[in-house]
């Protein structure tokens, strides 16, 4: 079941073969390549990815959260568009990072410790993944591989068996995984979670401002459809903190209990 997959996503994929040393340090500092103006389905403009990078990212996120009988996967939910926006903005350029040295390996609790901005890491890492794929599979890019071959390559990346030079494979895999999860489950206003596919999958209600009419509805399944930030703004729901609202499926709001007689109020 895909819900089980999402819970255990960080635990790993099927095992794969190792590869070594494919990205020079100079490549990591290379400026961004041209973005494809026709690539972004949502708005017609690509903020960061060029055409080849977009194809590679589409293929990667489709393996991390695949579509199945339960609904769309990360590719269909627009996760590539989400990553494209993030990498083309303040996060991608590391505006909120402390980027002065010395740079050295830290503990997992200390978070990201590299000199590379996320944009530099993604640009170099995606190129390296396609280079690994071409060397191992007769010139084929990652997107051209069979699903089991893609899983094997991603597993090697996760295990640190692919040497990306200044960019540790494990770190880049985690960046890919974190970005995929954020794009699949974040609010659609950020470019991913198209049609609230991620929220519908796990039953998340979204950004309803008030649940006052539902507090006393014990034992009743909460089946209200999800609401995004844009939907809340359009309906004025975001200004209704503490106010009453229609209950799910037109059910009447629960009536307040009568005040007790005698004794303390």
pLDDT given at position 256 = 41
**CB of 29 closer than 8 Å to CB of 112:** no
**pLDDT beneath 50, residues of the chain:** 1, 3, 7-43, 240-265
**pLDDT digits 0-9 by tens, 170-182:** 999 999 999 999 9
242 Cβ contact list (under 8 Å, min separation 6): 210, 212
Nearest to residue 160, comparing CAs of 146, 171, 145?
171
pLDDT given at position 5 = 53
Ramachandran quadrant class, 44 (left: phi over 0; alpha: psi -120 to 50; beta: rest) = left
pLDDT given at position 245 = 42
């Amino acid at each position: 079941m895909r819900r089980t997959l999402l819970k255990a996503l960080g635990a790993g994929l099927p095992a794969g073969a190792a590869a070594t040393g494919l990205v020079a340090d100079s490549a990591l500092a290379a400026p961004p390549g041209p973005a494809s103006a026709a690539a972004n389905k949502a708005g017609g403009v690509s903020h960061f990815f060029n055409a080849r990078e977009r194809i590679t990212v589409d293929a990667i996120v489709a393996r991390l959260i695949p579509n199945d009988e339960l609904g769309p996967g990360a590719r269909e939910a627009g996760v590539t568009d989400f990553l494209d926006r993030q990498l083309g903005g303040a996060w991608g350029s590391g505006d909120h990072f402390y980027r002065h040295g010395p740079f050295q390996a830290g503990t997992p609790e200390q978070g990201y410790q590299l000199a590379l901005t996320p944009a530099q890491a993604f640009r170099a890492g995606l190129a390296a993944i396609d280079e690994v794929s071409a060397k191992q599979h007769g010139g084929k890019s990652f997107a051209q591989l069979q699903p089991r071959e893609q899983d094997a390559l991603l597993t090697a990346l996760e295990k640190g068996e692919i040497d990306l030079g200044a960019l540790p494979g494990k770190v880049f895999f985690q960046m890919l995984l974190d970005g995929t999860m954020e794009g699949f489950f974040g609010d659609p206003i950020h470019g991913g979670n198209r049609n609230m596919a991620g929220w519908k999958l796990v039953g998340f209600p979204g950004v309803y401002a008030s649940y006052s009419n539902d507090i006393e509805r014990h034992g009743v399944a909460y089946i209200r459809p999800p609401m995004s930030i844009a939907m809340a703004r359009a309906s004025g729901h975001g200004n209704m903190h503490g106010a009453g609202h229609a209950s799910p499926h037109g059910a009447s709001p629960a009536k307040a209990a009568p005040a007790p007689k005698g004794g303390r109020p």
